[in-house]
Structure 1
Amino acid sequence: MSYIEIKNFTKTIKENTVLKNININLSKGKIYGFVGRNGSGKTMLFRAICGLIKATSGEIIIDGKTISKDIDFPDSCGVILETPGFWDNQTGLQCLKNIASIKSIVNEDIIRKWMMRFELDPNDKKIYKKYSLGMKQKLALVQALMESPNLIILDEPTNSLDEESIIILRDILEKEKERGATILIASHNKTDIEELCDKVFKIDFGKVKEV
């Protein structure tokens, strides 16, 4: 049984059809890659799966529940779509604790362990606005992964990461896959796609086809 079913999904914005009659099924415990030029519709599709945009026609069903009908957003989802809205004058740990307080799924000990997995020091007093781009990306990854969501959606997850950090991320995503998570990745990094993904889809002018 598919964990995500996208049926005849079309999205039109101001007479411009940005996603066109998309039909794909995605299973648990798999990593799916999405490739395509800038503006092809990758991020828009991810936003639709997250419940951030509504269909013009068609539907997206996640774990038996239809987005915008049964639920507004996926029940268990970790996401990187754009730069997360962290607090500039708080430490990385403080930022993550604030986010975790919304659902109260994880405690501070778990947050600290996730930070250390990405080689971020949870005791670092440096505030977020003084983080390097690589540190900001790592913190974004921690917020997406720390609650062990069933669905993980990552748009360009290796942006600003050094080679060692990319290796760490790939290892973590493999472990999340083994745990049973459904993972969606959009990336211009061919190595990410080739080494991680069980199946790859190409998006071009709003249409999706399996590679």
Structure 2
Amino acid sequence: MKLIANNIHKKIKGKTILNDISLEMETGNIYGFWGRNGSGKTMLFRALSGLMKIDSGNIYWNDKELHKDFAVLPSQGIVLEHAGLYPNKTGVENLLYLAQLKGVIGKREVEEAIRRVGLDPADKRVFGKYSMGMKQRLVIAQAIMEKPDVIMLDEPTNGLDEAGIKEIRQLIEQEKERGALILLASHNQEDMKILADQVYKIADGRIERKGTEL
């Protein structure tokens, strides 16, 4: 299965934030997007997922076009900071609420995802009381819990200690082995070196270089 972008452009308030980006990515691979903060990584993920409409160009998933055949990618998990999580709910409550929106999985799968990221499903602390590292783990659990075809991770190791970074990198590798297409945005060069099969360097909303190394 492939995710393809052809010459996509996007402006916000007259400023170009995505500039003539073309990509072709297949499942079973990790694609790294490396660049400084503000380079366009997050906006690219928002466009590819369907969360933001582009001004021109086309995005295809398995020969079907985004915003024509479907509004958002039909099988995706995405990490964009802590969006959509409620500070007054526990980890399980948060993910169960999100799971019920699609009705694909239930409590067992939610608890399994929480364990996979190193959290305890029985923890009664609410999300607002989590440490930064715990919050990061929970949003990653949200992204993988439905075993989606496409996983987009924006700075997935932010806020994690050395042990946590190692655990999440192993989890990302496991999702690749499962056959997911993984997009990984980071300014951490080590994440790119260890995880990415192909790396795109992005700056000012444009792909400057691609290859197997930075």
> What range describes the TM-score normalised by the shorter chain of this pair?
over 0.9
Distance 2:62 2:160 in 1: 32
Whether the 8 Å CA contact 2:117–2:171 is kept in 1: the answer is no
C-alpha separation in 2, matches of 1:71 and 1:202 = 29
Inter-partner Cα distance in structure 2 for 1:11 and 1:196: 28
| Farther-moved stretch of structure 1 (112-121 vs 156-165) | 112-121
1:128 and 2:127 matched: yes
> Residue 136 of structure 2 corresponds to which residue in structure 1?
137
Identity over aligned pairs, percent:
46
Residue 55 in structure 1 maps to residue 54 in structure 2: yes
- Residue 94 of structure 1: CA displacement? 1.0
Q: Give distance in 2, aligned partners of 1:172 and 1:38.
A: 25
Q: Which residue of 1 aligns with 2:148?
A: 149
- Other structure's SS at 2:176 match: helix
2:210 is matched with 210
SS in 1 for 2:167: helix
Query: 1:67-119: per-residue Cα shift (whole Å, max 9, x none)?
Result: 11111100000001132221222111111111111112222112112211222
Aligned length: 210
The residue identity in structure 2 corresponding to 1:32 is Y
What amino acid sits opposite 1:51 in the alignment? G
Query: What is the CA-CA distance between 1:34 and the residue it aligns to?
Result: 0.2
Q: Secondary structure at the match of 1:177?
A: helix
1:112 is the counterpart of 2:92: no
2:141 match: secondary structure: helix
Counterpart of 2:2 in structure 1 is: 3
Superposition pairs for residues 38-53 of structure 1, below 5 Å?
38-53=37-52
TM-score of the pair, normalised by structure 1: 0.95
Select between 140-149 and 171-180 the one with higher mean Cα deviation: 171-180
Give RMSD over aligned pairs.
Answer: 1.2
Residue 103 of structure 1 corresponds to 102
Unaligned 5+ residue runs, structure 1?
none
Q: Distance in 1 between matches of 2:172 and 2:118?
A: 16
Q: The residue matched to 2:170 in structure 1 has which SS?
A: helix
Residue pairs, 1:170-209, within 5 angstroms: 170-208=169-207, 209=209
Q: Secondary structure at the match of 1:8?
A: strand
Deviates more, 1:176-185 or 1:9-18: 9-18
Distance in 1, Cα, partners of 2:85 & 2:16 = 32
Distance 2:23 2:13 in 1: 25
**Partner letter of residue 8 of structure 2?**
F
Using the TM superposition, give the Cα deviation of residue 158 of structure 1 relative to its aligned residue in structure 2, in angstroms: 0.4
Q: Distance in 2 between matches of 1:54 and 1:111?
A: 30
Shift in Å, 1:122: 0.8
CA distance in 2 between partners of 1:77 and 1:15 (Å): 30
